[in-house]
Amino acid sequence: MKAEVINPFLESARIVIEQVIQVSPSTGNLGVKDIELIDNHIWIQVGMTGQLSGDIIFGLAEQVALKIVSAMMGGYVITEMDEMGQSAISELGNMISGNASTILSNQGVAVDITPPKLMKTDNMTVTPGKALSIPLVMDGIGELDIQVMIS
């Protein structure tokens, strides 16, 4: 798995997060890690087909997701991940993935993405394995972990 595969998602996530929640995220360390189930986390899974195929998974603690959704809702405080919150956080994953697929297309790599699938620990369907992973750190909010599993 090549590290440059994650760059369009990282670039896109930075742009989308800055536009949607008005925070400039910093980048953590790139690494390869095992996919693991963590309690009180939410994952947004987006499939990719075409010249690259696999899954992109955005992982974040539920409290981080609530802060992001609150920011997306113009500062209205969200205290539980209800249907509206789930829809908003899924849309964030969709926006990041859509922008990343445009970046890839501009680089001559044709890909299609699937609609985002929101998962919690108790309904995870991801096959355990290794992913290229990089965290985005958002001051005052927390981390969004971008994990790319491309074959």
Residue-wise pLDDT tens for the chain (151 aa)? 566 788 899 999 999 999 999 999 999 888 888 776 677 889 899 999 999 898 999 999 999 999 999 999 888 888 999 999 999 999 999 999 999 999 999 999 999 999 999 987 665 655 667 888 889 999 999 999 998 887 6
Q: CA–CA separation, 47 vs 118, rounded Å?
A: 12
The CATH number that domain 3-150 falls under is: 3.40.1550.10
Distances (CA, A) of 73 to 51, 127, 134: 36, 33, 26
Residue 104 and residue 30 in contact, taking contact as beta carbons nearer than 8 Å: no
